[in-house]
Amino acid sequence: MVTLWFVLLGVLFAGYFALAGADYGTALLMRAAPPERRREVLAATGPFFLGNEVWLVAAVGVLFGAFPRLEGELLSALYPVLVALLVALIGYTAAVQLRGRWHAGAKAGWDALIVGGAGIVAVGWGVFLGALLNGLPLDADGHRSGSLFSPVAVVSGLAFAALVAVHGAVFLTWRSTVDVRRLVPVLSRAAAVLVGAVVALAAVGVTGVEPLIAVPGAVAVIALVLVAPRLSPARATLCTGLACGLPVLVIGAARWPVALASTADPAGTLTVAEAAAGPATLGVLVWFAALVLPLVAAFQGMCWWAFRGDRRPVFW
């Protein structure tokens, strides 16, 4: 049961990164479009925007309910990153919703908030994943005892932002008439180099990671972003979406059975079994998952079906 919930947690976060990554990636590229066409950039993800965020809500719900100790230690150890993520998410979401309701002179400010918020979110999630890969300086009581910004975490932040940017570029090419095709090869190579840098840094300074899982996983991510410029926009979007979602699954599998590694004190390492709620709680949560997860999937499917092939600027 614990393994099942851990896999489900990873799948939900992977789904969120793969789907909402297109939202953040297109926002990062708003400045590449002329001012009069930036509405089209937001319109490309407009029909899917709220549906993509539901995956994060579901993932956080599973984290809080099924892994309460992991949630507590993550909030304690990574609170600077998580606070920045929360503030950026609120600012980005508000700016997307409000941009079209103000006069033209105010749109430049909203655009800056959209781009800045999306950038902080993308880098913040990358730092979060890098910290999980590298481990955190936790003592035996689970309290942070040093800096969480390791070289692996910092480069992971940049790598994830590059993955999100290339995902946004191919998504815009597919779902809009805004021409950013020229950026796809450049962003793909940048993402591949940065992911390779994360692997190199991890190989030198990270212990407790299974290389037979981590290395093929990283190679798969690099291959997906490098092949994307050679494919049709729809297939390229599928590849870059997988590249955005795959890291969380690779890190979880490569660190198994550790949920949160300690770089300061081995006694501070938290295993998946230790992080999980009791069997009775997990059994009750099965009913929650059986009700909510099909609704999340159905809502996502409805959005994509309703707006299949539509490239009109219908929102904002």
Do the bridges between strand 258-260 and strand 270-271 make them parallel or antiparallel, or are there none, so unpaired? antiparallel
The answer to whether the beta carbons of residues 41 and 227 sit under 8 Å apart is no
Mean pLDDT, consecutive 10-residue stretches, the chain (316 aa), reads: 92 95 93 82 82 88 92 87 93 85 71 93 96 88 75 96 96 88 93 96 91 95 96 93 97 95 86 91 85 82 74 39
User: In the prediction, which pLDDT does 102 show?
Assistant: 63
Phi and psi (nearest 5°) for 309? 70, 0
Nearest-angstrom CA–CA distance, 195 and 91 = 28
Three-state secondary structure call for residue 262: strand
Q: Tell me, what's the pLDDT at 19?
A: 93
Q: How far apart are CA 291 and CA 297, in angstroms?
A: 11
H/E segment holding residue 258: strand 258-260
Q: What is the DSSP letter of 312?
A: S
The H or E element containing residue 181 is none
Residue 315 DSSP SS3: coil
The residues, ordered by sequence, that sit 6+ positions from 189 with a Cβ below 8 Å of its Cβ are: 226
Phi, psi of 270 (to 5 degrees): -115, 120
Question: Can the peptide bond before residue 233 be classed as cis, meaning omega within 30 degrees of 0?
Answer: no
Look at the block and give the residue holding tokens 């099909």: 294
Specify the 3-state DSSP secondary structure of 145: coil
pLDDT, residue 283, reads 85
pLDDT tens for 19-46 read 999 999 999 998 888 777 888 888 888 7
Rg (CA), the chain: 19
Domain ranges within the chain, ordered by starting residue: 2-306
For the domain made up of 2-306, the CATH class stated in words is: mainly alpha
* pTM for the structure as a whole: 0.92
Q: Helix-strand-coil percent breakdown of the chain, rounded to 5?
A: 80, 5, 15
pLDDT at 314: 37
Output the pLDDT for position 309.
Answer: 63
β-sheet bridge partners, residue 136? 262
Q: What is the pLDDT of residue 51?
A: 80
